Structure 1
Amino acid sequence: MNNGLDDVIATETVMSDVDGLAGRLVIRGHSLDDLAGHVGYEDLVAILLDGFFQDLPGPAALASRLGMARRDVFEMLVAGGAPDRKLPATDALRAAMARLGDGEDLDVALRLIAAPAILTPAIIRQRRGEAAIAPDPTLGHAADMLRMLHGTVPRWEAAAALDTYLVTVSDHGLNASTFTARVVASTQAGLTSAVLAALSALKGPLHGGAPGPVLDMLDGIAAAQTAEAWLEAALDRGDRLMGFGHRVYRVRDPRAEALKRAVAALFGPGTNDRSRLALAEHVEAAATSILARRKPDRSLQINVEFYTALLLEALGFPRESFTSVFATGRVAGWIGHAREQVLYGRLIRPQSRYVGPRPDQAA
């Protein structure tokens, strides 16, 4: 019995393959290197959903329908009343999405994909005391999300950076939230139920909540000359260095490299102050060296969270919204897995090994 189900094969899938030893991620037959920075999120949605809906249109028509789905979701979930401002950001997202109807058809799927991109900016603006901004169905998914956040059409570099992020986190094997989506889908509860369950799993700090603490770490370090001492002291206390190490990867997380390239482009000459990026690069080098010396039996390199934190901060997303932005990218992957489970799987019902007292022992 493997506690945590490590190395247990629970299903066969065409969705993605995570090679932790080689540091390679394949999504629907495409390497991450061929996708991140090269295809838009709408094109990636078409790739992820291919074969799972009989009426799935071509990429251009699908992008148009996704834009219209953003408009419809805004009318359904935002225009008539903003999400509950008393709830934390991810809880507010989940509560609002729970108002969407359940089902297995493509319209339900597109509304679920549209919802986080609509609701996340609306929730952020509400907490700032600002009115929500209606979507523009003619824009790309990432560009429209940033426009709804800031009120202006984003510059190309910003939209491209968010596009790269959404593509990079769209699917990643049988992680906790994706497995949750498949379990719920296997009961034939419907796509909305599967996505809400996955979002609940993503909310946990051991799964989707670590990018924010990466920024807390950088804020604590503050300057390159204090990095080594700060990191050594943190490890002496037994603290975990946020953004380093991964449950699956034994080498560098390939998603980290894709996002580092996106951040570098976002902080290009004449665009943003590069001091934050320079500090992060120094911390990465210092922490990698310290961890290699102190924990030589483990490979603890940066993971997807490290440069995610810088990217989302630079794009203007507050830290409490990072999990919701993660969900914006991952929701299409959840839906692909859920549909694959419904079409080709069966009710998921594993066994457990009882280790409690027997009736005669209890007596």
Structure 2
Amino acid sequence: MTADTTATAAPLTVPAGLAGVLVAETAIGDVRGTEGFYHYGPYSAIELAQRRTFEDAWFLMRTGRLPSAAERTGLLEQVGRFRELPPALTALLPAIAKAGNDFHPLAALRTALSFLGAHDDVPPLWGSPPADRAAAALRVCAVTPVLLARLYRLRNDLPVVEPEPDLPTADYWLRAVTGAVPDPDHLRAIDAYLVSTIDHGFNASTFTARTVASSGADLVSAVCGAIGTFSGPLHGGAPDRALDGLDEIGSPDRTRDWVRAKVSAGERIMGFGHAVYRTADPRAVLLREIGRSLGGELIEFAVDVEKEVVAGLAELKPDRELYANVEFYAGVVMQQCGIPRSMFTPTFTVSRMVGWCAHILEQAADRKIIRPSAAYVGEPPKRPVPASGMSHLR
């Protein structure tokens, strides 16, 4: 007996955005949205940002434990060696930096990394030794700030700051972008920001990276997929837009009217609300305090605006719990530290690259491809297919 092909399959229940759907197991970290808490392995991410360095958290992502002083030094030595660019890529960067009427740093990074992957003969994850995968991940993470800073300065006709192999990432990044030796307070602020944004659960870019990795493709292909996802304004591309909102408001007394106008127009208020948190975003709380420690009119203005926006959203959208997210105060802190707005999201990328690579390596150990299903909502199939009258095909 043949199967009845006309039977209708039971409809699938698909939560919007796959919210709450478990797609994998991970030992890297987790976000507990109802508690306002997230962690890397067994450690609170916020406590790590307050007490340890970016390189410590990077080591944790690679090994599952925090380093000794000697191990931290060893990691820095490896990173310093991997910062060196091949001459062929160095020669190509000016053309990448000057491409297009507008500068899109993540698109430029994606292009440069694709070339580097080909140049370095980065092998497919499928079948390659774990040591080779880990080396490729370290290379990509180490070179990302070099490429982003150089592309920015080339685009703006500024002298390139050559990488110094012995500098920690935050120190190198501030020098490479601004062209100046950083203030110690700014250095600590950016280091804490980098630690706090390495990983944040199965967000869209991390899921993209793992999906590409599950196919067995090479690591650079996986990070390029993540970069493309991350560039969207609903994901990593929001810190500069959140600060643009402060510019539009101008003064705290105009905030409530600004919020009403945005909500009435159906526009999203960048820097507020989160897909997971139903409490204050702990990263925003951390960065607010860092901003306050740096001082100045901008942070005081931002704090006043935050209070007014939260109150306005509570009034206009009482059924939703909307608070400031990481992007709101990230932009404030980066501006306080002298980072230009076009480099806000690239700064985020420098840290998140470490998290993406950790997830890619974890996914590469699983030999099953990610292949979800979809609920078909189109017209039912028509049978038979009508004749076309194309007699010449007979």
TM-score (norm 1): 0.91
Is the 1:73–1:114 contact (alpha carbons within 8 Å) kept by the matching residues of 2? no
> Cα RMSD over matched residues?
2.0
Is the 1:37–1:160 contact (alpha carbons within 8 Å) kept by the matching residues of 2? no
User: CA separation in 2, counterparts of 1:353 and 1:362?
Assistant: 23
Is the 2:210–2:222 contact (alpha carbons within 8 Å) kept by the matching residues of 1? yes
User: CA separation in 1, counterparts of 2:35 and 2:300?
Assistant: 28
Partner of 2:341: 319
Note the C-alpha offset of 1:234: 2.5
Partner of 2:302: 280
User: CA separation in 1, counterparts of 2:195 and 2:338?
Assistant: 19
Note the C-alpha offset of 1:136: 0.9
Structure 1, residues 99-128: CA drift from partner, whole Å, max 9, x if none? 122244333212211222112221221222
Partner of 2:20: 7
Q: 1:78 to 1:38 in 2, by over 3 A?
A: farther
Structure 1, residues 127-185: CA drift from partner, whole Å, max 9, x if none? 22112111111111110111112222211111111111111110010111000110111
Q: 1:141 to 1:91 in 2, by over 3 A?
A: same
Question: Structure 1 residues 18-27 or 60-69, which shifts more?
Answer: 60-69
Note the C-alpha offset of 1:74: 7.1
Counterpart residue type for residue 287 of structure 2: L
Partner of 1:68: 81
Partner of 1:270: none
Partner of 1:271: none
Q: 1:140 to 1:20 in 2, by over 3 A?
A: same
1:12-161 counterparts in 2 under 5 A?
A: 12-50=25-63, 58-70=71-83, 72-73=84-85, 77-78=89-90, 81-82=93-94, 83-87=96-100, 88-101=104-117, 102-103=122-123, 104-161=132-189
Is the 2:252–2:308 contact (alpha carbons within 8 Å) kept by the matching residues of 1? no
Partner of 2:360: 338
Note the C-alpha offset of 1:11: 0.4
SS of residue in 1 equivalent to 2:159: coil
Is the 2:93–2:112 contact (alpha carbons within 8 Å) kept by the matching residues of 1? no
SS of residue in 2 equivalent to 1:105: helix
- Is the aligned partner of 1:297 residue 2:313? no
SS of residue in 2 equivalent to 1:26: strand
SS of residue in 1 equivalent to 2:278: coil
Identity level (%): 38
Higher Rg: 2
User: CA separation in 1, counterparts of 2:313 and 2:40?
Assistant: 30
Is the 1:17–1:26 contact (alpha carbons within 8 Å) kept by the matching residues of 2? yes
Is the 1:37–1:163 contact (alpha carbons within 8 Å) kept by the matching residues of 2? no
Is the 2:133–2:361 contact (alpha carbons within 8 Å) kept by the matching residues of 1? no
- Size of the aligned set, in residue pairs, is 352
User: CA separation in 2, counterparts of 1:235 and 1:121?
Assistant: 37
TM-score (norm 2): 0.84
User: CA separation in 2, counterparts of 1:316 and 1:76?
Assistant: 31
User: CA separation in 2, counterparts of 1:149 and 1:283?
Assistant: 29
Note the C-alpha offset of 1:76: 6.1
- Structure 2 gaps of 5+ residues are 1-13, 124-131, 387-394
Partner of 1:254: 282
Structure 1, residues 43-94: CA drift from partner, whole Å, max 9, x if none? 1110001169xxxx93321122112212x13756436643331242221111
SS of residue in 1 equivalent to 2:82: helix
- Structure 1 gaps of 5+ residues are 268-273
User: CA separation in 1, counterparts of 2:173 and 2:384?
Assistant: 60
User: CA separation in 2, counterparts of 1:244 and 1:360?
Assistant: 50
Q: 1:299 to 1:74 in 2, by over 3 A?
A: farther
SS of residue in 1 equivalent to 2:338: coil
User: CA separation in 2, counterparts of 1:43 and 1:76?
Assistant: 32
Counterpart residue type for residue 175 of structure 1: N
Partner of 1:355: 377
